[in-house]
Structure 1
Amino acid sequence: MPLTLLVILLAVVAWVWLRSQPPSQRKPAIVKLVLAAGIAMVVLLAATGRLHFLFALLAFLYPLLRRVLPSLLMGRMAGAGMGNAKASSGNQSHVSSDILDMTLDHDTETMSGKILKGPMAGRKLADLGESEFIELLRYCREQDEDSARLLETYLDRRFGDSWRADDPTGADGEESGDGASAGGPLTESEALDILGLEPGASQEEIIQAHRRMMQKVHPDRGGSNYLAARINEAKEYLLS
């Protein structure tokens, strides 16, 4: 009887502990509980002289375990491999212009970038102040329309429309250009970078990457005409 109460008490404690774990940690916590329960059972059987019952159970289950365990382990390894592959490819897209190099993170949907040429060459966009953004935008508009449109896209995603109130040459709130085209022709490397793909990507991978990107940057969803045009151009180039 005391042993039964102890088991019930430990089960309640284990249940409370499991419920207190974050959802993402509950599976590992269950594994730990199962291992702890198994070890406790072995110790209990050994202490009461009933360890032979465990050996008999293992002998009975051995044929089944030989068939089930390898497939389970291989499935977990394969799943982990696929998860790593998915996480390591297609998570970022790169779009470059004459003045800017921009990265779009697919998971967080945030943009980051650095300046390639001009008075601020070598600096990261994240380090610029408000007046410096306007100065850089003015420089881009004078030197390269694609760079200006790319910077406007970055400013829209980071600041919304608020930055346009300080823009002396674009206060109408519209992107420069009509967004129908996105500048010069792409190379294969640029097209792959835009869609976040590796060389040798299949047609299905290209289509899926294009669909995933357009869901994030389509103008109808508050995205950018410039990026949408560039993404479409990358798809057309890789599928041609």
Structure 2
Amino acid sequence: MPLTLLVILLSIVAWLWLRSLPPSQRNPAILKLALIVGIAIVVVLAVTGRLHFLFVLLAFLYPLLRRLLPSLLKGGMAGSANARAGNQSHVSSDILEMSLDHDSGAMSGKILKGPMAGRELADLGESEFIELLQHCRAHDEDSARLLETYLDRRFGDSWRADDEADGRQSGDRGQSGNTSGPLTESEALDILGLEPGASREEIIQAHRGMMQKVHPDHGGSNYLAARINEAKECLLS
């Protein structure tokens, strides 16, 4: 009876722990738990002289394991050390630094240069956004397009009513896919949220997942889509 209660208690703790993990980390965690449970079962069976029951159980479960293990292992590889902690991508320009959360799709940013240097975009008021946008347009086109992407994602089209610049010119510039120069490998890894040494398959998977979130056909950004495509080409070349 005490052993049964212990098993139930440990099962509840393991279930709560798995629920607290991000979805991308659950498959690796399940693998670890399965390994620990398997070792514990082997030890108990060996001590009690019932190890032959393990071989019978494995023979029974073999067809099921053949189906489950490949998908679990694939999920574990996808959540390995090549994925950045926090599952985020980073895009930088001369004036701004942006982060995109892969799970929620939320963008956050920080001002690197200019009169508002050091401030977080989340702390700015609407009039300050327009002032910052005008500064970016005057000094760095990429920064302007990156800020427009942030504003579209956060406010929709409402911010454009307060924009004193030529709306058509701004819109055309925001639709352009050209960037200020070729990406370095480090910048490409930042954009796709990968670590050095990422495999070809991981690069393709990261690119596909991000494009699903930011593709213009899905209400995303032409600028970000162009940078993501460029990052993929840089890493696969």
Summarize deviations over 1:86-145 as a string: whole Å, max 9, x none.
598251110000000000000010000100000000000001011100000000000000
Alpha-carbon distance in structure 1 between the residues aligned to 2:18 and 2:112: 46
The answer for the alignment partner of 1:159 in structure 2 is: 155
1:110 aligns with 2:109: no
Q: What is the root-mean-square deviation in Å for CA atoms of aligned residues?
A: 3.3
> Is 1:149 the counterpart of 2:145 in the alignment?
yes
Provide structure 2 residue ranges, at least 5 long, that are not aligned to the other structure.
1-11, 20-46, 59-64
Mapping 1:79-98, distance limit 5 Å: 82=76, 85-86=79-80, 89-90=83-84, 91-98=87-94
What TM-score does the superposition give when structure 2 sets the normalisation length?
0.67
- CA separation in 2, counterparts of 1:190 and 1:235? 11
Equivalent pairs counted in the alignment come to: 184
Structure 1 residue identity aligned to 2:188:
A
- Residue identity matched to 1:85: G
Q: CA offsets, 1:6-57, max 9 Å, x none?
A: xxxxxxxxxxxxxxx9xx75999xxxxxxxxxxxxxxxxxxxxxxxxxxxxx
Greater C-alpha Rg: 1
What is the percent sequence identity of the aligned residues? 69
Query: What is the distance in 1 between the residues matched to 2:229 and 2:208?
Result: 10
CA distance in 2, matches of 1:213, 1:84: 14
1:227 to 185, 209, 224: 224
Task: Identify the residue that residue 209 of structure 1 maps to in structure 2.
Answer: 206
Provide the secondary structure at the position in 2 that maps to 1:174: helix
**In the alignment, what sits opposite 2:35?**
none
List gaps (5 residues or longer) in structure 1. 1-20, 29-57
Instruction: Give the distance between the partners of 1:60 and 1:127, measured in 2 at CA.
Output: 66
State the AA in 1 paired with 2:214.
V
Corresponding residue number in structure 2 for 1:137: 133
Q: Which of 167, 174, 179 is the aligned partner of 1:171?
A: 167
Corresponding position: 1:200 with 2:197: yes
Match of 2:95 among 95, 99, 103: 99
Residues 27, 139 of structure 1: alpha-carbon distance in 2 compared, 3 angstrom cutoff: closer
With over 3 angstroms needed to count, the CA separation of the structure-2 counterparts of 1:178 and 1:158, relative to structure 1, is closer
Counterpart secondary structure, 1:176: helix
Tell me, in whole angstroms, the C-alpha distance in 2 between the residues paired with 1:196 and 1:131: 32
Match of 2:53 in 1: 64
Q: Does the 8 Å contact 1:152/1:175 carry over to 2?
A: no
Partner residue of 1:238?
A: 235
- Cα distance in 1, alignment partners of residues 188 and 106 from structure 2: 20
**Following the alignment from structure 1 to structure 2, what is the Cα–Cα distance between the partners of residues 158 and 94?**
17
Instruction: Verify the 8 A CA contact 2:90 2:99 in the aligned structure 1.
Output: yes
Matched to 1:82, the amino acid is G
Is 1:99–1:118's contact at 8 Å kept on the other side of the alignment? yes
1:132 and 1:109 mapped to 2: Cα distance?
A: 24
Using the size of structure 1 for normalisation, the TM-score is: 0.67
Q: Is contact 2:192–2:206 with CA below 8 Å preserved after alignment?
A: yes
1:212 Cα deviation from its structure 2 partner: 0.8
Report the CA distance shift for 1:144/1:27 in structure 2 as closer, same or farther (over 3 A).
closer
